[in-house]
Amino acid sequence: MWIYMNDSFLSIIENDELHLTVRARRKEDIERVFPDASVLETPDRDYRYRAVMKRNDVAIVIAKRIMGIDYYNFKDSVKEYDRKHVYSEVWGETLKLQK
């Protein structure tokens, strides 16, 4: 699952039935969302940073993030210039899926 937040981009995959692996291109993306996570650097992997966490813990934090949404336009809520640029590119590409 890819999750685009205004301050983080995460890729979350199954580790085992009790745990998920939270992956990111930037270490701080995991740390912003999961400040207590033990983030490992994996330079030879497609996502350089990752943390294995309990499924329930990941679900609770992501649900809190959803409940805390306080903006009417996602792209306008992104403050980092480079992140905003990349997200805008993704937005444009996904527009191709619209029917």
Domain-embedded: residue 90: no
The dihedral of CA 86, 89, 93, 94: what is its sign? positive
Per the structure, the count of domains in the chain is 1
At 98 the three-state DSSP class reads coil
Please report the pLDDT score of residue 31 as a whole number: 98
CB of 50 closer than 8 Å to CB of 39: yes
Asked whether residue 56 is domain-assigned, the answer is yes
pLDDT at 28: 98
Q: State the Cα torsion 42-38-23-89 to the nearest 10°.
A: -100
Residue 82 included in any domain: no
Block mean pLDDT (10 aa), the chain, length 99: 98 98 98 98 96 98 98 96 97 94
Query: Looking at the whole model, is its pTM more than 0.85?
Result: yes
Which range marks the domain in which residue 66 is found? 2-70
3-state secondary structure of 77: helix
